[in-house]
């Protein structure tokens, strides 16, 4: 069975394809789809109870001590106790096996 298309039908399809190519790109519609898609995604993290417990049990930062050390560094008067530093590094390595 042969189907013969008329020239008008073929020409009409070609015009429609050409017109599709000329339509401006609608960035707003694309952005709306992207935003809608992103809002459905859950890219957060959930901490285990153990992680929450560790976070709560950690020491808080002593702001006064930090300010004192920053001041000493800026003034050039901060002294490093090399033996204490070496000992702390050793203990850290021993504890965490890094």
User: Which pLDDT does position 18 carry in this prediction?
Assistant: 53
pLDDT of residue 98: 64
pLDDT, tens only, 4-21? 555 555 555 555 555 555
Alpha-helical (H) ranges within the chain are: 7-22, 27-40, 49-57, 63-75, 82-96
What pLDDT, on the 0 to 100 scale, is given for residue 20?
53
DSSP assignment letter at 76: T
pLDDT tens for each residue of 20-79? 555 555 555 555 555 555 555 667 888 899 888 888 887 788 999 999 999 999 999 999
Q: Give the per-residue pLDDT at 47.
A: 85
Question: Quick one: average pLDDT of 83-97?
Answer: 93
């Amino acid at each position: 069975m042969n189907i013969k298309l008329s020239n008008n039908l073929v020409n009409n399809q070609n015009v429609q394809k050409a017109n599709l190519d000329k339509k401006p790109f609608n960035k707003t519609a694309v952005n709306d789809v992207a935003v809608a898609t992103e809002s459905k995604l859950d890219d957060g993290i959930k901490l285990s109870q153990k992680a929450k417990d560790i976070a709560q049990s950690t020491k808080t930062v002593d702001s006064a001590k930090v300010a004192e050390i920053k001041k000493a560094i800026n003034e050039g008067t901060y002294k490093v106790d090399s033996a204490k530093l070496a000992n702390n590094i050793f203990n850290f390595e021993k504890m965490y096996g890094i």
